[in-house]
Structure 1
Amino acid sequence: MIRFLKIVILIVIIFTFNISLAQDLADNQVDSVEQESKKDKNLKFSILGGPGYTPDFGALIGGSALFTFKTDPTDSLINRSNVPVGFAWLFNGGFNAIVRPQLFFNEDKFRIFGQFYIKDNQENYYGVGFETNKERPRGEATTQYAATAYQFNPIFLFRLGASDFFLGPQVDITSTRIRDPAELMVEDPYYIAAGGTAEGDRIFNSGLGFQLSYDTRDFPANAYSGVYFIASAVFYEKFFGSDYSFQSYQLEYRQYKALPFLGERRNLAWTVSSNTSTGNVPWTDMSKVGSPFDLRGYYLGQFRDKTTSYAILEYRHMLNFDHKTWAGRFFSKFGFAAWCGVGAVGPNPFDVEGWLPNYGAGLRIEVQPRMNFRMDIGKDPINNQTLLYFNMTEAF
């Protein structure tokens, strides 16, 4: 634990190098005309990065970048679009890059959301189900394999009249190439059923579907108030080019509540989400938890099955100092968050095989107005492990 805390402290020091914060220092040395010119710039970006360490991948060089802009600078009815990017080069070989854009167009009558990633690194497959995954040790002979994978998942949303509802199509294309699977992994029935051998496997799936959403958030990238609801379905079929025929469904509810009696920029956020797949679902595409956006503290994919669900309650607190001084402006960029939650995994929504408690806390650094870099430390009480996450924008 002491070694872990030392690593955390080192990473905090390195990652708090911030182009946005450095820019604030520079702003104090320019006159008011130059400051106004900077404010008028449409494209803004913030980058944090440096060497680090994570329990998932070991030593790495990585970081996060955030690009924000208005697709039409003259349009007062749209939010700033944001494109957060996470990237890492691993000392043991390989790399990861993920982009989760939120783009707003035409008086917010049209949106493009989604997720895109590409990676080439060592990953782990624990099996399917709760008991199997909980008891399986992580290691080269048990769970590890090399993977080259990508996902292309754009979502196109059109506002329904003057309402707060949006509806539109989505595409999901995933490809995973597995190499050097662990000995125990080669014996797994789900791996064998997907065509996996001792040499590896390649799985390609493509699907089409739709998403319906309801959105009253005051600011989508970091809401202080409002409701966000998502219902989506994606159908993967062989006539779309998919290797497997299955269906994926998602329901998610988020709500945000400002707490003005505690001061400005303090709020509660909570979410309840369920992901279910039916049909001939390969192990690579089963529902799973453990990402930086849900149960932080669990290894990604350690618990997977046809259904995963979770509920999270998070308190978010930014510091408020007098902005008339440089020190006040500087320290007002910092804050913290703390959360608790629980997840569930099973073969269907009505058959829960096991519960996944979760809690944690994290540092927040405002790199742009209402846009935060976050460093979260999450706890998995089931396996008594603690994991560290770096990301731009909030978890949900």
Structure 2
Amino acid sequence: MKFNFIKRLAVICLILINVQVFGRSFSHLNDSTNTLKKDTTKVEKKRKNLRFSILGGPGYTPDYGFLIGASALFTFSTDTTDKKMNRSVVPIAGAWLSSGGFNLLIKPQLFFNHDRFRYFGQIQYLNNINNYYGVGFDNNQNIERGPETTEYFMNSFLTFGSFLFRIGDSDFFLGPSYDVGYRRLSDIAAAMAEDPVYMKQAEMLGGGDEGMELFNVGIGFELSYDTRDIPANAWSGIYFDLTARYYDKWLGSDTQWGFLTAEYRQYKLLPFLGERRVLAWTAKVRSSFGDVPFTEMSMIGSPFDLRGYYQGQYRDKSMGYAMAEYRHMFNSKSKLLNRLGFAFWGGVGMVGPEVYNPGGVLPNFGGGLRIEVQPRMNFRIDVGKDPIANQTLLYFNMTEAF
């Protein structure tokens, strides 16, 4: 579906509510301070630690159409005495969709014990119309999006994450990874019901033309190397991640399959262009094997990779992409202008049965606005371009894409 950007941008109306809670600094209390003052000080310190921002109002997303949404960003430290430890970040986004349904997304990044232990995860509740274009580059490219061809309704609850422990005094982290997800598919489009991959999986799971249910339970491990200064919005450092999970019936999963993901990111300040100017680049591959449900296949198209392709529009057992992004914040005496910036990116991706056997090339580029809602924490509005279908898509999200 093509998108007249000027027309749709004109109907976007965001009511920005920026609520930030900051405590005041207090001098050291002497021995004569009474109990009431001590209790008040404890409360104020807690207020100073927790910061939150809320953005809300009507909007538009390429996948779900017009909506009423709200995004919240919570940041805090699990140990206020450790000034060097990263603040924990919990972005939350929810939306009531004009097409029917409700979505909720929570992506916590939590740091504990002087950053010797981390938890990175995601919780999703999705109750909305979705789209399935088939498997493979040719199918994904040629099937027209619509209620008779690609649409189905999905009610799902998904949670996954990793518990990461620092290895000695190094920048390496290692720990167990998990995934638990339930999906119920209904209102299957006529063309989708005749897709051979869907028919095979529906038969295996006891479903059919009317829909099917799928339960996934997987365990694995994650190994990462991380020298980023602030993971939610890095200005410098390197991040490398290797994640593997396996799903089997003895775990409670309906199918037997697994995947391996490798990702590399790097960030570099560009002081010759001024303060708060960053070049970031990333590359990622994901390869799956076994009886992979089509809902869990490797996909291109999300607010966090090649923005401009519909979410899950391109899927197969393997995918890969590489992209670079320039991030530029304005440096001004004006407090308002000082909180604004922009970014632009370019990249290329692929999907195929194997990483070394791509079905086709997916070019991508775009740009967007940045609004700093907390120190080093941005709300972003991105416009991404898919040159293959000549479509332009619009995105609203807390924190950077990578």
Indicate if the aligned counterparts of 1:75 and 1:106 stay in contact, CA closer than 8 A.
no
Partner-residue secondary structure (3-state), 1:221 = helix
1:382 pairs, out of 367, 373, 388, with 388
Aligned AA (1:187): E
Indicate if the aligned counterparts of 2:16 and 2:57 stay in contact, CA closer than 8 A.
no
| Alpha-carbon separation, structure 2, partners of 1:382 and 1:8 | 22
| Alpha-carbon separation, structure 1, partners of 2:25 and 2:323 | 45
2:65 pairs, out of 47, 58, 69, with 58
Aligned AA (2:226): D
Deviations 1:258-306 (A, max 9, x none): 0001111001000000011011111111010111110111011110000
Residue number in structure 2 paired with 1:261: 272
Partner-residue secondary structure (3-state), 1:19 = coil
Aligned AA (2:353): P
Shift of 1:76: 2.2
| Alpha-carbon separation, structure 2, partners of 1:16 and 1:266 | 25
Residue number in structure 2 paired with 1:305: 316
| Alpha-carbon separation, structure 2, partners of 1:125 and 1:336 | 33
1:334 pairs, out of 340, 353, 377, with 340
Aligned ranges for residues 34-113 of structure 1 at < 5 Å?
Answer: 41-113=48-120
- The RMSD of aligned alpha carbons is 2.0
Shift of 1:39: 10
Which contiguous aligned blocks of 4+ residues in structure 1 show a shift greater than 4 angstroms?
30-33, 37-40
Partner-residue secondary structure (3-state), 2:232 = coil
Indicate if the aligned counterparts of 2:164 and 2:175 stay in contact, CA closer than 8 A.
yes
Residue number in structure 1 paired with 2:289: 278
Partner-residue secondary structure (3-state), 2:93 = strand
TM-score (norm 1): 0.92
Shift of 1:18: 2.8
Residue number in structure 1 paired with 2:262: 251
Partner-residue secondary structure (3-state), 2:78 = coil
Provide the aligned length of Structure 1 versus Structure 2.
381
Residue number in structure 1 paired with 2:179: 172
1:120–1:378: structure 2 CA closer, same or farther, 3 Å change rule?
same
| Alpha-carbon separation, structure 2, partners of 1:150 and 1:273 | 25
Unmatched tracts of structure 1, length 5 or more: 323-327
Shift of 1:17: 4.0
| Alpha-carbon separation, structure 2, partners of 1:353 and 1:143 | 20
Residue number in structure 1 paired with 2:41: none
Identity of aligned residues (%): 57
Deviations 1:146-193 (A, max 9, x none): 000121102100000000000000110111110010000001111011
| Alpha-carbon separation, structure 1, partners of 2:236 and 2:401 | 15
Indicate if the aligned counterparts of 2:299 and 2:315 stay in contact, CA closer than 8 A.
yes
1:113–1:193: structure 2 CA closer, same or farther, 3 Å change rule?
same
Bigger radius of gyration: 2
Deviations 1:45-85 (A, max 9, x none): 00111011223212210131100000111222311000011
Partner-residue secondary structure (3-state), 1:194 = helix
1:187 aligns with 2:194: yes
Partner-residue secondary structure (3-state), 2:260 = strand
